[in-house]
Amino acid sequence: MARAYNFSAGPAVLPLEVLQDAQKELVDYKGCGMSVMEMSHRGKDYDAIHQEAIATFKELCGLGDDWAVCFVQGGASMQFAMIPMNFLGKGAVADYGKQGTWSNKALKEGQKVAALRGATVNVAADTQKDIPTRMPSEWKWTEGAAYCHICSNETIAGAEIKEFPKTTGPLICDMSSDILSCERDYNKFDLFYAGAQKNLGPSGMAVVAIKKELAAKGDDKIPTMLQYRTYVDENSLFNTPPTWGIYIFGETMKWVKRMGKENLFALNAAKAKKIYDVIDGSEFWTGTAVPEFRSNMNVTWRIKGGDEALEKKFLDEAKALGMSSLKGHRSVGGLRASIYNAFPMDGVDALVSFMKDFEAKNG
């Protein structure tokens, strides 16, 4: 069976060679007589997988010994609550960027915790309802903020921060949809995290990189499994971790390393440019994000300003040609091509060719 070109925003396409290697090792991992899904998380076979996955990720991000990498179940949405529970105490102020759907979800969780704790949440910038979509150009930070939370790439809006702001408190960033997709100085942050199901591996967990110094400042009165110090002190092995997800994460990180970061980053930019060039080349298509903030991971657009009947025809014909999940998020409609790290260039070429053909027949 031929594989579809999977443009899904998540769970998303994984590197084919990672899937094929996992298939070979599914029943018997490297001759140990069992699957990764069956082995003890305390055993030496799994321990090697765990340690290598962390080491490779830290190498790719340029993180030193002052950083810890944690595997936390619940995805990025769990982080929306864990962050304020750990760091937003009574009388404290946390700054949030309100840049789109996902950053707004994080903001709402912060507000819930603030209401319980007698703390305050400040909206440092608000571009959520701006059309065409964009990221903030100006931020209003609180001096001495407990932390400053932003989202680097909004998958629904198709907008990405290109230059990160300087903040007055620890900088925390949701990088779920663009982590390791472009050149970035990860040491500018104090905590960054990503739901795994876009650029890192399968769904079911978040990868959290946190400075150990920050983790130690977290509230020690909240439940043990919600404290970052638990994951740091126990190397994410306090309880049984999502071992299979960590294994695929580690294999995906090795794939990124084999690709070469610079090569991968250039490929990502080239993939996005091909689609944006078609969108910009005709009035038939309308991009939905301000050009200077356009995402290289999630390309969003409309047909003839929002002709829903024509967009449905586009989606139906694309699916018949093996191009899956090009429909925009249900909250905004339109079209979206999510072209994460593992998405192949030939899939982009197929989409671009189809777009030109579709315009010729329906323009």
pLDDT digits (tens, 9 = 90+) for 165-189: 999 999 999 999 999 999 999 999 9
Phi and psi at 215, nearest 5°, equal: -60, -40
List residues bridging with 323 in a β-sheet: 5
Provide the annotated active-site residues: 102, 174, 198
CA-nearest of 340, 323, 155 to 252 is: 340
Tell me the C-alpha distance between 234 and 55, whole Å: 16
3-state SS, 39-60, equals CCCCCHHHHHHHHHHHHHHHHH
What pLDDT, on the 0 to 100 scale, is given for residue 148?
98
Give the strand pairing for 191-195 and 171-174: parallel
Confidence bin at 1 (pLDDT 50/70/90): low
Are 159 and 295 within 8 A, CB to CB?
yes
User: Domains, the chain, ranges and CATH?
Assistant: 16-258 (3.40.640.10), 261-362 (3.90.1150.10)
Tell me the C-alpha distance between 96 and 174, whole Å: 11
| Paired tokens of 174 | 């949701």
- Which residue is it, tokens 């110090």? 229
Are 272 and 294 within 8 A, CB to CB?
yes
Sheet with 205-211, strands from edge to edge, namely 67-73, 205-211, 191-195, 171-174, 147-151, 93-98, 120-126
- The answer on pLDDT for 316 being more than 70 is yes
CA-nearest of 156, 193, 189 to 71 is: 193
Confidence bin at 220 (pLDDT 50/70/90): very high
- Which residue is it, tokens 């030109």? 356
Peptide bond into 15 cis (omega under 30): no
- The answer on pLDDT for 308 being more than 60 is yes
Close Cβ partners of 73 (under 8 Å, ≥ 6 residues apart): 204, 205, 206, 241, 242
CA-nearest of 172, 173, 176 to 205 is: 176
Q: Buried b / exposed e across 194-231, counting CB within 10 Å, b at 16+?
A: bbbbbbbbbebbbbbbbbeebbeebbeeeeeebbbbbb
Average pLDDT of the residues of the chain: 96
Coil vs helix vs strand at 168:
coil
pLDDT digits (tens, 9 = 90+) for 99-143: 999 999 999 999 999 999 999 999 999 999 888 899 999 999 999
pTM, to two decimals: 0.96
Mean pLDDT of the 49-66 span: 98
DSSP 3: P
The residue count of the chain comes to 363
